[in-house]
């Protein structure tokens, strides 16, 4: 048997099943089920070959309404047409069946020609639906969406129109960590959120699933402000989907200037805007600008080269020393990553790290750095030395990886390294998404023996709440906001003094980073700051140079 050539007849009366079989057996193989529960079992076994379902409503065990409710929950059943066979002309029942996904109705007068016509018509429609509709969400697929958007723009006349791309931040990780079932449910939820929001607004629109977690909507709008209200309304609905993980939708928006432009090109411009904001803390919407075309080329080159760069170890780990302020002697370092291409050119971290965070590659690059640091510490221990701690950065993305803790523990166990030698730096923004989850991770890491630092303290809006809610070990403060020219600024110095005093009262050591001037060193010394890091003492350096700095033999 080839393709879908089976019809599933669900009816508790055997004679009715036999009648449908006699009418349809010349063109189809017939499967029978006497109630909804048995039908679900057969559907699960034969979903690839079932072309259509005919179901009765009144049945024991599981009736037709319950059966319809159950099959609508399974994404792979969405394009299998269901026809309800009924003896009554009950408007309420028909409405309920349609709401539950029924495609058509057959009266149980058993007129052969009517039954054949409606069955074949539903199957033909399902074939068209497969070509035009997304099988998971039931909305237009990319090709059909582009087509209706073209028709929409051709009739939009003088109306303002915008193309918005919606996609889910860190979707690849959500899909990997929580399973494809959860990923599919999230995609369907986003599809529903877009439709419900735009249906409730007085705008004309088209929308469809472009692929993966990416959706597009083309709509008319009155003002830029009213457009953004709709965009934010979609995001607000999506955030209600789950309380188990942080969820954010990014959007790229192109205000269409030329309605005759090819729809694919229009979408490309919205997509470029979405790429610029995706993964950026506190920035989840972006409008297309002409400068994005140049940036896109640079970003694509980085994406094309990143796997090869990792395999060839083009990523080089540098150490920036930290100094004990009281004795002005080196004490540990922060591990930083640099990318040096084979031709000698350097890719600035500010270019490749945001891209890695956006596409999830940061998980691999973080692990690469951690392992290089563990190897260094292991060599020091093997040489009979007790190295000062080396701190490594843990990206926000890694915190959403359910395997993060396991990976980290396995790494220190692999190299037999006491966790006290490997400190973990988390930026303040990493704590703002899901406090409970971060607290659980920090508590676990503490039990194992790790030291946790908050990097960039004071750069966000929730610093004090984080200190109150999460038991951290060390604060890192960036001195860039207090340059030599601002040392006389009493407000800035008083704020910094207050932070240091607060940390001391909490028995938290303070590391001031970005220290570049003697005046800063003197000021920090007067406050009793514990450690300093910055170009005044040492720039990031190769591991070999760091070993010479601390007097470690080759």
Can you tell me the distance from the alpha carbon of 520 to that of 9, in angstroms, rounded to the nearest whole number?
A: 82
Residues 260 and 321 reside in one and the same domain: no
Which residues are paired to 86 by β-bridges? 107
Question: For residue 421, what pLDDT band results from cuts at 50, 70 and 90?
Answer: very high
Residues 107 and 245 reside in one and the same domain: no
Residue 462 has pLDDT above 70, yes or no: no
Mean pLDDT of 395-420: 90
Residue 433 has pLDDT above 70, yes or no: no
Say what the pTM is: 0.57
Look-up of token digits 């006349």: 157
* Geometric angle at alpha carbon 145, from 142 and 150, rounded to 5°: 125
Q: What pLDDT is recorded for position 136? A: 85
Residues 425 and 354 reside in one and the same domain: yes
Of residues 92 and 509, which shows the higher confidence score?
509
Ramachandran assignment for 71, one of left (phi > 0), alpha (psi -120 to 50 degrees), beta (any other): alpha
For β-strands 390-393 and 422-427, DSSP reports them as: parallel
- Going by the DSSP 8-state scheme, the letter that residue 158 receives in this structure is T
- The reply to whether 554 falls in a domain is no
Within 10 angstroms of residue 99's Cβ, the number of other Cβ atoms is 11
- The reply to whether 213 falls in a domain is yes
For the ranges 201-210, 397-406, 501-510, the lowest mean pLDDT is seen at 397-406
Pseudo-torsion of CA 403, 407, 413, 414, nearest 10°? 140
Q: What pLDDT is recorded for position 493? A: 82
- The reply to whether 113 falls in a domain is yes
Residue pair 412/374 in contact (Cβ under 8 Å)? The answer is yes
Residue pair 42/30 in contact (Cβ under 8 Å)? The answer is no
- The reply to whether 137 falls in a domain is no
Identify the CATH number of the domain in which residue 96 sits. 3.40.50.2300
Residue among 446, 502, 525, 509 nearest 475 (CA): 509
Q: What pLDDT is recorded for position 135? A: 78
Q: What pLDDT is recorded for position 125? A: 85
Q: What pLDDT is recorded for position 427? A: 78
Q: What pLDDT is recorded for position 220? A: 96
Of residues 248 and 340, which shows the higher confidence score?
340
Q: What is the pLDDT of residues 330-382, one digit of tens each?
A: 999 999 999 999 999 999 998 899 889 878 899 999 999 999 999 999 999 99
Residues 126 and 151 reside in one and the same domain: no
Residues 497 and 386 reside in one and the same domain: yes
Of residues 70 and 358, which shows the higher confidence score?
70
Domain total in the chain: 3
In whole numbers, what is the pLDDT of the chain averaged over residues? 88
Q: What is the pLDDT of residues 256-313, one digit of tens each?
A: 999 999 999 899 999 989 877 765 556 689 999 888 877 778 888 999 999 999 999 9
Residues 450 and 538 reside in one and the same domain: yes
- The reply to whether 155 falls in a domain is yes
Question: For residue 75, what pLDDT band results from cuts at 50, 70 and 90?
Answer: low
Residues 524 and 499 reside in one and the same domain: yes
Q: Give buried/exposed letters for 190-220 (b at 16+ CB in 10 A, else e).
A: bbbbbbebbeebebebbbbbbeebbbbbbbb
Q: What pLDDT is recorded for position 280? A: 59
Which residues are paired to 255 by β-bridges? 162
Residues 165 and 232 reside in one and the same domain: yes
Question: For residue 442, what pLDDT band results from cuts at 50, 70 and 90?
Answer: confident
H or E stretch covering 455: strand 452-455
Q: What is the pLDDT of residues 379-393, one digit of tens each?
A: 999 999 999 999 999
Q: What pLDDT is recorded for position 232? A: 93
Residues 319 and 410 reside in one and the same domain: yes
Residues 163 and 14 reside in one and the same domain: no
DSSP string, 320-379: EEEEETTTTEEEEEEEEEEEE-TTSPEEPHHHHHHHHHHHSTHHHHHHHHHHHHHHHHHH
- Going by the DSSP 8-state scheme, the letter that residue 387 receives in this structure is P
- The reply to whether 435 falls in a domain is yes
Domain boundaries, position 20: 6-132
Residues 545 and 424 reside in one and the same domain: yes
User: Domain ends where: 132, 155, 181?
Assistant: 132
Identify the CATH number of the domain in which residue 254 sits. 3.30.70.270
Instruction: Tell me the two tokens of residue 250.
Output: 């990014």
Residues 247 and 202 reside in one and the same domain: yes
Mean pLDDT of 433-440: 74
Question: Using a CB cutoff of 8 Å and minimum separation of 24, what contacts does 531-534 make?
Answer: 531/322, 531/323, 531/324, 531/325, 531/331, 532/322, 532/323, 532/325, 533/320, 533/321, 533/322, 533/323, 533/334, 534/479
Question: For residue 255, what pLDDT band results from cuts at 50, 70 and 90?
Answer: very high
Question: For residue 1, what pLDDT band results from cuts at 50, 70 and 90?
Answer: very low
- Going by the DSSP 8-state scheme, the letter that residue 211 receives in this structure is E
Instruction: Tell me the two tokens of residue 146.
Output: 């582009």
Share of the chain above pLDDT 70, in %: 93
């Amino acid at each position: 048997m080839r393709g879908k050539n089976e019809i599933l007849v669900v009816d508790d009366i055997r004679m009715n099943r036999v009648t449908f079989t006699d009418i349809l057996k010349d063109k189809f193989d017939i499967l029978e089920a006497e109630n909804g529960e048995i039908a679900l079992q057969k559907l699960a076994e034969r979903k690839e070959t079932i072309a259509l379902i005919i179901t009765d409503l009144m049945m024991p065990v599981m009736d037709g309404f319950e059966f319809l409710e159950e099959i609508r929950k399974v994404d792979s059943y969405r394009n299998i047409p269901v026809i309800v066979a009924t003896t009554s002309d009950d408007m309420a029942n028909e409405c309920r069946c349609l709401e539950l996904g029924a495609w058509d109705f057959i009266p149980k007068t058993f007129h052969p020609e009517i039954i054949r016509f409606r069955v074949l018509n539903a199957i033909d429609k399902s074939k068209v639906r497969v070509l035009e509709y997304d099988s998971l969400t039931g909305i237009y697929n990319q090709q059909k969406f582009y087509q209706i958007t073209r028709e929409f723009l051709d009739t939009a006349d003088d109306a303002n129109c915008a193309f918005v791309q919606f996609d889910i931040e860190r979707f690849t990780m959500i899909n990997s960590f929580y399973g494809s079932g959860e990923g599919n449910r999230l995609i369907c939820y986003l599809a529903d959120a877009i439709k419900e929001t735009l249906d409730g607004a007085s705008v004309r629109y088209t929308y469809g699933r472009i692929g993966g977690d990416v959706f597009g909507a083309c709509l008319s709008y009155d003002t830029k402000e009213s457009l953004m209200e709709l965009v934010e309304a979609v995001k607000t609905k999506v955030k209600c989907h789950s309380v188990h993980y942080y969820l954010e939708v990014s959007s790229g928006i192109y205000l269409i200037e030329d309605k005759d432009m090819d729809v694919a090109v229009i979408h490309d411009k919205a997509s470029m805007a979405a790429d610029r904001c995706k993964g950026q803390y506190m920035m989840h919407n972006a409008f297309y600008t002409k400068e994005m075309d140049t940036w896109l080329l640079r970003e694509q080159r980085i994406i094309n080269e990143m796997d090869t760069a990792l395999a060839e170890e083009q990523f080089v780990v540098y150490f920036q020393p930290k100094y004990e302020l009281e004795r002005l002697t080196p004490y540990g370092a922060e591990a930083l990553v640099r990318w040096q291409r084979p031709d000698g050119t350097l890719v600035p971290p500010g270019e490749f790290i945001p891209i890695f965070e956006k596409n999830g590659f940061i998980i691999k690059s973080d692990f690469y750095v951690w392992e290089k640091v563990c190897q260094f510490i292991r060599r020091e221990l093997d040489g009979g030395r007790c190295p000062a701690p080396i701190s490594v950065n843990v990206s926000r993305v890694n915190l959403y990886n359910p395997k993060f803790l396991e990976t980290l523990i396995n790494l220190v166990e692999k190299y037999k390294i006491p966790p006290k030698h490997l400190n973990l730096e988390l930026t303040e923004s990493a704590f703002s998404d899901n406090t409970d989850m971060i607290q659980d991770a920090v508590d676990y890491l503490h039990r194992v023996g790790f030291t946790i630092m908050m990097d960039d303290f004071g750069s966000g809006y929730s610093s004090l709440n984080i200190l109150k809610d999460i038991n951290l070990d060390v604060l890192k403060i960036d001195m860039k906001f207090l340059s030599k020219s601002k040392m006389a600024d009493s407000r800035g110095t008083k704020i910094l003094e207050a932070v240091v005093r607060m940390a001391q009262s909490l028995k938290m050591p303070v590391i001031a980073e970005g220290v570049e001037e003697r005046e800063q060193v003197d000021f920090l010394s007067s406050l009793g700051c514990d450690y300093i890091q910055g170009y005044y003492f040492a720039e990031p350096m190769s591991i070999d140079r760091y070993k010479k700095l601390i007097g470690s033999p080759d």
